[in-house]
Amino acid sequence: MEFLFTPEAISALLTLTFLEIILGIDNIVFISIVVGKLPEEKRVRATNIGLLLALVLRIALLFTITWVIAMKESLLAVDYAQFSAEINGQSLVLIAGGLFLLYKSTKEIHEKIDHAGDRDKKVENKAANTMARILVQIILIDAVFSVDSILTAVGMTTGIDGALWIMIIAVVVSILVMMVFAHPVTRFVHKHSSLQILALSFLILIGFMLITEGAHLAQLEVMGQSIGAIPKGYLYFAIAFSLLVEFLNMRFRKKVKR
């Protein structure tokens, strides 16, 4: 295991772990929203199970890395008038995940805005069904985020000795960090209703980003214009700026109440 203690390996491990944690923010936001459908006493358990499933799924994908990479191979070529694409497995997973996020986020916003008061409670009680249904939703989005995460890991560790072990350690550490922060984030989000809407809006942005990234991997061209992937830095800056504004609003409302 000496290869893990080389400067190159340590640098790759630290950088990859940091990136995995940043990418995991999307996962935490989604989980904090869907577990809100459960009774409060079951939320911690559902969050832990969801993150453990994410860990198992990502490690499994790492051991089948050749299959993940092979998903870049074209499955279907489309060339019709002003529309062309080379559709592959990775693009399909990302586009499907993005559409699922758009649907789920829009549905949640609709319920929170249109079903206020007693109606909202009835809707929540009806929707807060079995943990199995919540876990299925978490697994579905975990699969999408896992593919995105694994592709990042592979790109960063290519050519480094012990790359597989570096990726596994980074994934395990990032999931453990997410487990520590997931519960405070979930409690904080559900304590402040305005943050719930903001978090759902973030998921819409992330869903749109996944769709554009999938279209980019599929080399989609519309009227001679190729679809480019949106840099994740732009997305996280928008999220950080929105959160800063919301926290300032929260402090202002607190002072007004006093």
What is the Cα–Cα distance from 238 to 121, expressed in whole angstroms? 32
pLDDT score, position 118: 47
- The per-residue pLDDT for 119 is 45
Q: Could you give the dihedral angle defined by the CA atoms of residues 162, 163, 165 and 166, in that order, rounded to the nearest 10 degrees?
A: 120
* Distance between CA atoms of residues 48 and 60, nearest Å: 18
Task: Give the number of C-alpha atoms closer than 13 A to the C-alpha of residue 80, restricted to the C-beta side.
Answer: 3
Looking at residue 161, its pLDDT comes to: 72
For residue 6, give the DSSP letter.
S
Tell me what pLDDT residue 70 has: 66
pTM of the model: 0.68
CA 170 to chain centre: 17
Listed in sequence order, the DSSP H helices in 115-162 are 117-127, 131-157
The CA distance from 216 to 221, in Å, is 9
Tokens standing for 75? 């499955």
Angle among Cα 180, 183, 187 to the nearest 5 degrees reads 150
Q: Report pLDDT for 156.
A: 66
Q: What is the torsion angle, in degrees rounded to the nearest 10, for the CA atoms of residue 110, residue 116, residue 118 and residue 122?
A: 10
Render 168-226 in DSSP notation, one character per residue: HHHHHHHHHHHHHHHHHHHHHHHH-HHHHHHHHHHHHHHHHHHHHHHHHHTT-EETTEE
C-alpha distance from residue 22 to each of 3, 19, 222, 229, 246 (Å): 26, 5, 32, 18, 20
pLDDT at 41 (0 to 100): 77
Tens digit of pLDDT at every position of the chain (258 positions): 665 667 777 777 787 787 777 767 777 777 877 787 777 778 788 888 888 887 888 888 778 776 766 677 777 788 877 788 888 887 887 888 888 888 888 887 887 776 554 444 544 444 445 777 888 888 877 777 777 777 767 666 666 777 778 888 888 888 888 888 877 877 777 777 777 778 778 888 888 888 888 888 888 888 778 887 777 777 778 878 888 888 888 888 877 776
Burial status of residue 149 (CB atoms within 10 A of its CB: 0-12, 13-18, 19 or more): buried
**Residue for token pair 């061209």:** 221
